[in-house]
Chain A
Amino acid sequence: MPTFLTVNGEQKVSMRAPMTPLIDVLREEFQLTGAKNVCREGICGACTVLVDGRPVVSCLVPVGSIPNAEVRTVESLADDGELSPLQRIMEEHDVVQCGMCFPGILMALTSFFKECPHADKDEIRAALVGNICRCTGYERLIDAAVALAKSS
Chain B
Amino acid sequence: MPATSAITLVMPEAVDDAVAALAEFGPDGAPLAGGTWIMRAPIRGEARRSAYVGLGRIAALQAVDLDDDEIRIGAGVTHVGLVAALSDVPQCRGLVTAAAKAANPAVRQMATIGGNLAAWEFPASDLTPALLSLEAAVELRSPGGTERVSLERFLLRRRAVEPGILVSRVVIPRRPLTTGHARLPLRKAGDYPVAIVSAAASMDGHGKVDDIRLAVGSVEASARRWPGLERALLGARLDPASAQELARERSGDFAGRDSVEAPAWYRVQVLPALVRRAVEAVLASPR
Residues on A facing B (Cβ under 8 Å): 17-21, 40-43, 45, 48, 54-57, 59-62, 64-67, 108, 112, 126-127, 129-130
Contacts of B110 in A (CB 8 A): 56-57, 60-61
Contact A130 B105 (CB under 8 A): yes
B interface size (C-beta, 8 A): 30
Q: Mark B166-206, 1 if CB is under 8 A from A, else 0.
A: 00000000000000000000000111000000000000000
From A65, A108, A126, give the contact of B32 (CB < 8 A): A65
The CA-CA distance from A59 to B35 in the complex, in Å, is 10
Would you give the shortest CB distance from B213 to chain A, in whole angstroms?
A: 29
From B7, B54, B109, give the contact of A56 (CB < 8 A): B109
Would you give the shortest CB distance from B203 to chain A, in whole angstroms?
A: 32
Would you give the shortest CB distance from A62 to chain B, in whole angstroms?
A: 6
- 7 new A-B contacts at CB < 8 Å, known A61-B35, A65-B56: A19-B48, A43-B191, A64-B11, A65-B11, A129-B105, A129-B190, A130-B106
Would you give the shortest CB distance from B273 to chain A, in whole angstroms?
A: 22
Q: Mark B1-31, 1 if CB is under 8 A from A, else 0.
A: 0001111110100000000000000000000
Q: Is the C-beta of B57 less than 8 angstroms from some C-beta in chain A? A: yes
Contacts of B56 in A (CB 8 A): 65-66
Contact B7 A18 (CB under 8 A): yes
The CA-CA distance from A126 to B34 in the complex, in Å, is 22
From A43, A59, A64, A130, give the contact of B54 (CB < 8 A): A64
Q: Is the C-beta of B39 less than 8 angstroms from some C-beta in chain A? A: yes
Contact A65 B54 (CB under 8 A): yes
Contact B4 A42 (CB under 8 A): no
Would you give the shortest CB distance from A5 to chain B, in whole angstroms?
A: 13
Q: Is the C-beta of B260 less than 8 angstroms from some C-beta in chain A? A: no
Could you write out 17 A-B pairs with CB less than 8 Å apart? A17-B4, A19-B4, A19-B52, A20-B4, A20-B5, A21-B39, A42-B36, A55-B109, A61-B35, A62-B35, A62-B54, A64-B54, A65-B11, A108-B106, A129-B105, A129-B190, A130-B106
Contact B7 A17 (CB under 8 A): yes
Contact A56/B39 with A17-B7, A65-B54 known, Cβ cut-off 8 Å: no
Contacts of A43 in B (CB 8 A): 104, 190-191
Interface centre among A17, A64, A126, A129 (most CB of B within 10 A): A129
Residue of A nearest to B5 (CB): A17
Would you give the shortest CB distance from A107 to chain B, in whole angstroms?
A: 9
Contact A67/B57 with A19-B9, A21-B39 known, Cβ cut-off 8 Å: yes
Contact A130 B11 (CB under 8 A): no
Contact A130/B190 with A43-B104, A45-B106, A57-B110 known, Cβ cut-off 8 Å: yes
The CA-CA distance from A126 to B287 in the complex, in Å, is 27
Q: Is the C-beta of B43 less than 8 angstroms from some C-beta in chain A? A: yes
The CA-CA distance from A61 to B40 in the complex, in Å, is 11
The CA-CA distance from A62 to B30 in the complex, in Å, is 14
The CA-CA distance from A127 to B100 in the complex, in Å, is 11
Q: Is the C-beta of B107 less than 8 angstroms from some C-beta in chain A? A: yes
The CA-CA distance from A54 to B105 in the complex, in Å, is 10
The 8 nearest A-B residue pairs measured at CB: A130-B104, A18-B9, A129-B190, A17-B5, A60-B39, A64-B9, A19-B7, A57-B106
Would you give the shortest CB distance from B192 to chain A, in whole angstroms?
A: 10
Contacts of B103 in A (CB 8 A): 42, 130
Contacts of B54 in A (CB 8 A): 62, 64-65
Q: Mark B114-133, 1 if CB is under 8 A from A, else 0.
A: 00000000000000000000
Contact B105 A42 (CB under 8 A): no
Q: Mark B246-286, 1 if CB is under 8 A from A, else 0.
A: 00000000000000000000000000000000000000000
Contact B107 A42 (CB under 8 A): yes
Would you give the shortest CB distance from A123 to chain B, in whole angstroms?
A: 11
Contact A65/B104 with A60-B39, A60-B40 known, Cβ cut-off 8 Å: no
The CA-CA distance from A42 to B108 in the complex, in Å, is 11
Residue of A nearest to B190 (CB): A129
The CA-CA distance from A11 to B32 in the complex, in Å, is 26
The CA-CA distance from A18 to B52 in the complex, in Å, is 10
